[in-house]
Amino acid sequence: MGAIILPLLLALLLLYVLVYFARAAGQALARSREVTRFQFEAKALLAQVDPILEGLATRTDSARRQLIPPDEILPDLENGTTTLEAARATADRISAPQHGRVLRDAMGEDVDRAIRAVAMIQHGCQQASSGYGRGAELEAQTAVKRGYLNLLHARESLASHVAEAVRLEPLTTRAVRRARM
């Protein structure tokens, strides 16, 4: 009887240890997949938004330097706003791990900042096109310049936050336990 119980207990103990480590490995793999998906979605957001911001910045700079008339870029600004609003919705749908949610929110705020910058540029271009005297011209130049700088800053900030997301590591089991406490 004793010869049967001891091997049976050892087999049960071994089974328990195997199940425990298999479960821990599965959880670690799930956390790794979650971080990888977050990184992929963050890079996709940047790939969607960056060319738009670059194009708008180039066109705005040309209008700011009076190489093209300000009203010529108004359709580009309207299209850019529409695309950026869609990108904002995409940013909200990014699935982030618990420790990446701040970055996801920051990326969404960067897109919001770009939308506000485009609205400011649009306002300046409309002011410049209206031609209501020197005061309107100065206001238009100021709005276009501020919007242009805000657009550049939003683009840099988004790229920085995506770079942080790419460097994000999955939490260890110990860190997950600490976060739950």
Q: Kindly report, residue by residue over 138-157, the tens digit of the pLDDT.
A: 888 999 999 999 999 999 99
Q: How many domains does the chain have?
A: 1
Does 32 fall in a domain? no
Residue ranges making up the domain that contains 95:
42-168
Does 8 fall in a domain? no
pLDDT (0 to 100) of residue 30: 81
Does 151 fall in a domain? yes
Domain CATH for 123:
1.20.120
32 or 171, higher pLDDT: 32
Does 23 fall in a domain? no
Does 109 fall in a domain? yes
Mean pLDDT taken over the chain: 88
Does 85 fall in a domain? yes
pLDDT (0 to 100) of residue 173: 52
Using CA atoms in the order 128, 64, 47, 117, what is the torsion angle rounded to 10 degrees?
-50
pLDDT (0 to 100) of residue 133: 67
